[in-house]
Amino acid sequence: IPNHSDLKPYNHAVAGHDGTLCDPDGELFIKPCVQQEIDFYQTAQESHQAFADLMPEYLGTLVLNGATDVHSIDEQLPAVADHISQHMKEEAVRMAHERAAEAKAEAAKPHDNIRWNPNKNRKIATDKSVVLENAAYGFHHPNILDAKLGQRLWADDAPMEKRKRFDEITRQTTNGSHGFRIAGMRVYKGGDNEAEWDQENYKVYNKDYGRFQVNKDNIVQEMRKFIFNEKAGIDEDLGRAIAEAFLNDLRHVEKVLAREESRMYSASLLFTFEGDGEALRAAIDQQAQIASTPTPAQNARVEKLSNGEPTLSTVRVDSGIVMDDDGEMVYGNGGIIEGDVKVLELTGSDDDDDDEDFSSLPKIYNLKLIDFAHASWVPGQGPDENSLVGVRSLINIFEELAESPTTTS
Ligand code: ADP
Ligand code: MN
């Protein structure tokens, strides 16, 4: 008999607080947050470009309060409002009203036991949300792992009770031995027991997994469960290719963090990759095909014969195909001149909107630094060695995962 209490509502978030809006097909991820996180995103974007490139793209903030309506979302975020589905907007409004009601109820309570109330239903001290790029967008079945970084998990402003509690977690988990722990993980058709899959066929590893099941001796084995999965068609070759890709990104993260003067407590590295082997292979093949196609110039100067008269004009090149103003192909790959157009020269272009061509490609993987509720810049104090311990352990682990088993035996 299937146990219905094991089935969880579909949600890409693998860890953290409730209240995130994550439209599974949407490009955006909206998370209630504190002002410090907004400040960190903004300053990263303004003056720490290499660091900002490690984060999900930051699109702005939304104020969700009792008075929020769908209309106000369009007003606050004109640039991205069109991307947010009507359903998501309604969901945001529903959450806003819920939060306003909670805040009101909280304010009406007597005040004594609020201050040191350990984490349960922690109130978020703002009605703002960050609007971010959804890291899981564009995948068929994203496998996601949240690696919470740090041996020290608390920021300078944490009360003694929290410091003690978090230090105890560090002592008991791989935050102590490796400088990171698995805060949550979901694997498409993962694990040994199919009965444990949710209705989307994911094995979901909740926060207790990294607290109580993963330890310094089995961490590599447990991370293997994230990457390698024969049940979903991710065999040794495919798994090693993904591990290699994450490894390259991790080395880049290490370089950037070592050059910056920042501090993050309880931030995470969010690993996402295509968990469906067939879709993964198709995505890799498609990328390889694009990589092997010589990069064309963005514009072409062409001579067109209109009404028998040659006219010169500049037209756009899309993936090696010259388009005329009406979007018709006039010049294909390999230099074949079609119809009445003669290509005179291919020229570069400085317009950037060709990025759009890649957004519809199936995704392979991505690695993002997230969760900056306790992050700040510390000019003059050197790199964030506390977070770097975790990044370097992850590099070692992914080196092992990327190795062929025959070379290790
Ligand atoms: P919290 O402060 O609640 O821990 P996080 O920023 O860590 O918030 O986010 C919680 C979870 O939400 C993460 O574990 C991840 O699964 C998901 N998440 C966070 N940011 C994104 C994003 N930009 N795209 C997709 N999922 C995200
Ligand atoms: Mn988090």
- Closest residue to atom 4 of ligand 1, CA basis: 16
- Closest residue to atom 20 of ligand 1, CA basis: 370
Alpha-helical runs (H) found in 236-316: 236-259, 277-292
For the entire predicted model, the pTM comes to: 0.80
Q: What is the DSSP letter of 381?
A: S
Q: How far is the CA of 266 from the centre of ligand 2 (A)?
A: 7
> Rounded to the nearest 5°, which phi and psi values hold at 92?
-60, -40
Query: Between the CA atoms of 384, 385, 390 and 391, what dihedral angle is there, to the nearest 10 degrees?
Result: 70
For the segment(s) 140-294+363-409, the CATH number from 2.40.50.140, 3.40.30.10, 3.30.70.1060, 3.30.470.160 is 3.30.470.160
Query: Between the CA atoms of 229, 234, 240 and 244, what dihedral angle is there, to the nearest 10 degrees?
Result: -100
Predicted pLDDT of residue 4:
29
Where along the chain do its domains lie?
28-133, 140-294+363-409, 298-348
Q: How do the pLDDT tens digits run along the chain, 409 residues long?
A: 333 223 223 366 888 887 788 766 678 888 889 999 999 999 999 999 999 999 999 989 888 777 778 777 778 777 677 777 777 778 778 877 887 787 778 777 765 544 544 444 444 556 788 989 999 999 999 999 999 999 999 999 999 999 999 999 999 999 999 999 999 999 999 999 999 999 999 999 999 999 999 999 999 999 999 999 999 999 999 999 999 999 999 999 999 999 999 999 999 999 999 999 999 999 999 988 887 776 655 677 777 666 666 677 776 666 556 666 665 655 554 443 445 566 666 666 545 444 445 557 899 999 999 999 999 999 999 999 999 999 999 999 999 999 977 654 4
Predicted pLDDT of residue 336:
38
Q: Tell me the two tokens of residue 368.
A: 């993002």
Ligand 1, residue 33: give the atom nearest the CA: 2
Predicted pLDDT of residue 272:
98
The position carrying tokens 């890409």 is: 12
Query: Between the CA atoms of 238, 216, 154 and 29, what dihedral angle is there, to the nearest 10 degrees?
Result: 20
CB-defined site of ligand 1, < 6 Å: 12-17, 20, 22, 29, 31, 56, 132-136, 144, 146, 184, 268, 270, 370-371, 373
Q: How far is the CA of 47 from the centre of ligand 1 (A)?
A: 23
Q: How far is the CA of 80 from the centre of ligand 2 (A)?
A: 24
Contacts for 385 with CB less than 8 Å, ≥ 6 apart: none
Predicted pLDDT of residue 116:
46
Predicted pLDDT of residue 70:
79
Q: What is the DSSP letter of 209?
A: I
